[in-house]
Structure 1
Amino acid sequence: MKKLAVLGMGLCVVLAFTSCKSGESAYKKAYEKAKQQELAEPKVSEPVEVAPVSDVPLVEKKKPAASSTEAVRQERLTVQGNGTLKEYSVVCGSFQTKANAEALQEDMVKAGYNSVIALNPDTNMYRVIISTFDDYSSAVSAKNAFKAKYPSRKDFQGAWILRRVF
């Protein structure tokens, strides 16, 4: 009886191992198929020359002149440190952290700007101001010149005019 039970168990084990095919053959088939596709694809050994779409030279678009309808933000400000503000200012950066504003201010001083940090107590935002003017048109001109000086700096392309509320 014991021999029959052992023989039955052995037979079950043998059937279990032989009835389940190994997954290795499926992986091997997939590998072979990918290898054949790779060999079938043409390889480009020489660079491909691309012809221009048009022979017309590119013309740089002119920026519109400053208009009196350009948006101006009005804020109540407190100057941090030394400096004074006139009615209109060019803002090149706004930060919630004073240390970040100070770092940008240092960069602007090195670049030749007489920059000032001002705090808007209503929003608790520090504004880095690069120049300040009595008239609106001078502020717009300075803002446009600043943006033109740094065309690759996306953060500086967001420079804006601030009108100080006294």
Structure 2
Amino acid sequence: MKKYMVLCAGLCAAMAFTSCKSSESAYKKAYEKAKAQETAQQTTPETAQTEANVVAPLVDRPATDTQVVDNVDNVQVRQERVSLVNGSGLKHFSVVVGSFSLKANADGLQQKLREAGYDAQVVKNEDRNMYRVVAATFDSKADAAASRNEFRAKYPDAWLLYNAQ
């Protein structure tokens, strides 16, 4: 019985050692490929030098391509196409305090803001399929920026949205 155990253990060990393939050939192929690329780059430095000197031409954009929102006061405003899902309506500038892919999450934050006394609204970004929770909406950019700064105490990622519609 002991002989069979030793014989079986020996056969298992022999099979284990013979079934292991050396990965040295894979490393050797990768090394040779890298060396070939390196020598190809060294043999053609003129080509690399000319590619580095190529500069893309400057393209003038017409005045109609510029963004509608001015940035004189250095307050960042995003312009998105949105449609009202739930609320009383948007003015030109809005303070967004949350963005969600699920409408239920947006509705939950809207309800929380309404309980706190805000006229919160939910809008949907048509391009990105995201629901934005608007805490307040204003006609002027300055009022919206001041309100956004107040909201950042509780919602640090609050941002301004410009609705051109």
> Which blocks of at least 5 consecutive residues in structure 2 are unaligned?
3-71
Larger Rg: 1
Matching residue's letter, 2:159:
W
Contact 1:77 1:165 in 2 (8 A): no
Distance in 1 (CA, whole Å) between partners of 2:116 and 2:157 is 18
Which structure 2 residues correspond to residues 1-166 of structure 1 after superposition, within 5 A?
68-148=73-153, 150=154, 156-166=155-165
Matching residue's letter, 1:137:
A
| Paired position in structure 2 for 1:53 | none
TM-score with structure 2 length normalisation? 0.55
Matching residue's letter, 1:145:
E
Distance in 2 (CA, whole Å) between partners of 1:71 and 1:142 is 14
Distance in 2 (CA, whole Å) between partners of 1:91 and 1:147 is 10
Contact 1:133 1:139 in 2 (8 A): yes
Matching residue's letter, 2:162:
R
Higher helix fraction: Structure 1 or Structure 2? 2
Contact 2:87 2:120 in 1 (8 A): no
Contact 1:105 1:116 in 2 (8 A): yes
Distance in 2 (CA, whole Å) between partners of 1:69 and 1:127 is 23
Matching residue's letter, 2:160:
I
TM-score with structure 1 length normalisation? 0.55
% identity of equivalent residues: 41
Count of residues in correspondence between the two structures? 95
- Pairwise CA distance, 1:98: 0.3
> Which blocks of at least 5 consecutive residues in structure 1 are unaligned?
1-8, 10-66, 151-155
- Pairwise CA distance, 1:95: 0.4
Secondary structure, counterpart of 1:112 in structure 2: coil
Matching residue's letter, 1:100:
N
Q: Calculate the aligned-residue CA RMSD, in Å.
A: 1.4
